[in-house]
Each structure stands twice: as C-alpha cells, then as structure tokens.
Amino acid sequence: MSRVPFLEFLLWLKPRGLDRLLDIIAPPAARQYNQFVYDSVTDRIALQREQATKPEEERRQDMFYFLAEARDSNTGALVYNEDDLRAESNMLIIAGSDTTATSFSGFFFYLTDDLTRYNKVVEEIQTTFHSLDDIIYGPKLQSCTYLRACVDEAMRLAPSGLSELPREILPGGLQIKGEFYPVGTIVGTAPWVNSRDTNVYADAETFCPERWILDGPGGVTKQDIARARAGFHPFLSGPGNCVGQNLAIAEILITVARTLYQLDVRRAPKSKLGGGSPELNWGKTDPNQLQLVDAYVSLRRGPEVQFRKRKLKF
C-alpha cells in the first residue's frame, strides 16, 4: 500500500492536465529547465532512430543508447517507452549534476587554499599521463592515489547531501548502539555530522588527503584507513545507496585530472567567497570551511577561482 495519500489519483491526473497546470505555475527557471530536458531528449531520440540502420559499433553508445535499447529478457520488447526515457533522462541529469558540482566545488575550494597539496596532485597527474587524450577511466587514472585521496577528502568535508535520509526499520526491529528500535521506526544519520566525527577523523575540520593513504612512517595504518572508510559514505550505503556512484567517481576523476593537466588553477585574489565569515551566524564563521546549505542536496556559493593555460609540464 502506498504511503503517499492520493498518489494513484495524482498519477492518473498527470497526463490529464496536472502536468500542464504544474508547468504554468512553475517558476521561469524550472520551465526553462524542463524545456531543456524535453528538447535534449527529443534530439537524442531522433539520433537514435537515425542511427538504427548503422552497425552497432558506429552508433553513439552513451547512457541513453543503452536505456533506449534495453529489452525484456523474456519477451524481447523494449523496456522503456518515450515517456519513460524522458523521465529517466530527467532523473539522470538531476542526480548527476548538482551532486558532482558540489564535489567539484569542495575539491577546488580546499585544494586552492593549500599550495603544497595542490602542487603534489598536479605533479601526480602530469607525470602519469602523456597527453590529454590519455586521461580516460582505466588503470592509469585509478593509479593516481593522491588524486583520489583529494577527491575523497573533499567529499568528506563537502558532502553532496548534508542531512539524514530516512530509513524505515523492517520487521523484527533493529538494535542500534545498544538501543532497540521496533519495526516502522524512521532512523537516519547525517553525512555532515558523520564526516566530522572526531572519534573517526583526527583533525576532522582539516583538509588532509593523506588520511586515506597507507603510510607507516607517517603514522597512517591500515586500521586508520579502515576506520575512516567505515565512517565515509558519500553515496550512502546498503540497498538504498546511489546506483550511479561508480559513474560519478569516474566523472569527477576524469574532469579534475583533465582540468589540472592543462590548466593552472588558483583562488581569485582576495576572494573569500564560499568560506565562513566572522559576521555570519554561529557555525558559519570558519573561513577555511566551505559553507553548505541543506536543500536535500547541498547548495553553496563559491569558490571563486581563476584558470590559466598551463605553460610547463613536469
């Protein structure tokens, strides 16, 4: 049974005028976005049909291609109709843009404020790859351990979702930290709080990629990394975790590596956009912390950075 009152009735109304009404009362930005998605998917459907007679290896095999070609294993019928494809495309655009944008903001906010670590990750990228086209998702990119550590540390300090996502206790109840919760209880943990747990992360407010890399002489043990990983769930965990997490990581690593391979990046001179400030409310005063606002996904302003084409290669 649905937990949303009148859900079936609302779904029945959608093609019978509700969608049109919602579009009329929606803010201009929302209407513009909806039109962008509609036009983009329309063009992509046209391309899919245009390439239908071409050999498979000559077609554009992006995510939409595989969605449009998905077939029921029993009947051979297409899984998604046109309305389904539009809905799936809308979800993929939203889920894969705001969240990764927050990760990029966090990465450049913290790295451009730390010249030593910035130079270290740039050197790793410059010495690992021989050309821009060489930067693809594969063994070479995965070997960039310091780059991945910087990305993980940025996602720890700037999670894409700040507050708890609710989970319902299943039949039989659940024991959590010594307390029993009966079936139907709604529980959750907040990524912002988890990522700053000083019992898990020493200097929790500090940008420290080294905490993710094994270094016996430096004092980072396997146990330290395992404890950090146990408290680190940027894509949530369990059966409700993000299905696109591998794609998101690939997107972030490729984009950052390609950016730093060909461009120098620095914080705009005198810019403090994104950081805390003494005149702001309690909890927002630290200039070294990217300020995020909880709106299901994280909202933020900044950082303000400048890019310049790189002249020299290591």
Q: 181, 194 in Cβ contact below 8 A?
A: no
144 is in an annotated binding site: no
For residue 171, the tally of other CB atoms under 10 A from its CB is 7
For residue 81, the tally of other CB atoms under 10 A from its CB is 9
For 38, the token pair is 């509609």
Q: 172, 183 in Cβ contact below 8 A?
A: yes
Phi, psi of 298 (to 5 degrees): -80, 135
Q: What is the DSSP letter of 187?
A: E
Distance between CA 262 and CA 244 in Å, rounded? 27
Per-residue H/E/C for 112-171: CCCHHHHHHHHHHHHHHCCCHHHCCCCHHHHCCHHHHHHHHHHHHHCCCCCCCCCEECCC
Binding site membership: which residues? 242
Annotated binding site for heme: 242
